[in-house]
Amino acid sequence: MKKDGFTLIELLVVIVILGLLLTLGSKSLRTARLSAKKAKALVELTSIETAVNAYHHKYGKLPAADSQQGSSDLDGGSDQESQDTIMILTAEDTLLNPVEMVFLEGQGASTNGVFVDPWGVQYKVLLDTDYDGRVVTPLGEVRSKVAVYSEGYYLLNGSAQTDDYITSWQ
């Protein structure tokens, strides 16, 4: 007697093989998405750093209030300091950007100066307002007039590994 179709064992083997392939594929997909987010964050960090340098070239000072020029660095990396810097660079603050030149455009910039990374966390912008050629960051001293970093992946992992920060200087 000849039977058409598959046995129960054959069907179970196919289901197990498909399950294994899906598991392997989903891990690769997650890794690819994470790599893409890291790359996007790095591009945006570089854009912010380039905008700060262009502002410095145009106005001869860093994008910070005149009262902060020559004082200690804006290296606290507070959300408000970063917001103020972004507002100057996006020409939302016309007092400190009187020409209203847009130095920074991007999907992450919003109308209130918040510029967020791919994980939804605000970028930190640190400026060397005392012009000594260095900025102190949570990861150590950086020899630059500007340092920008993202804590999004670091906060997502909930780990204490500082290599989870995405920075403009490494």
Residue 128 near residue 144 (C-beta atoms within 8 A): yes
Asked whether residue 91 carries a pLDDT value surpassing 70, the answer given is: yes
Rounded to two decimals, the pTM is: 0.79
Among candidate residues 130, 148, 145, 137, the one with its CA nearest the CA of residue 55: 145
Residue 44 near residue 123 (C-beta atoms within 8 A): yes
Q: Which two tokens stand for residue 123?
A: 């970028």
Dihedral sign (CA 125, 127, 133, 135): negative
Asked whether residue 122 carries a pLDDT value surpassing 70, the answer given is: yes
